[in-house]
Structure 1
């Protein structure tokens, strides 16, 4: 029941395997993925932070 509720809310439960532990990811639709890709590429190239 909890698993089904999480999946209905957009969570994807990942089993253990291939040297990785179990985990949870959010599923996004194609339109959301496109918007995220645009947002991630808006800032230009990244640089080293000069924080000490």
Structure 2
């Protein structure tokens, strides 16, 4: 699963050993949990940056 921030590829998450759908679900759940634990960045305008994490 590619990990993109503001449209740029910054990493990749690979999971193997389950069915394809379960691998994808596990990866997505892990990324969402990790993103929820991170502080939100703030853009120069003072508004939260909506591109913090994409799936």
**Greater fraction of residues in helix:** 1
Please report the TM-score for the alignment, with normalisation by the length of structure 1.
Answer: 0.31
TM-score, with structure 2 as normaliser: 0.30
Larger relative contact order (Cα-Cα within 8 Å, sequence gap ≥ 6): 2
The higher radius of gyration belongs to: 1
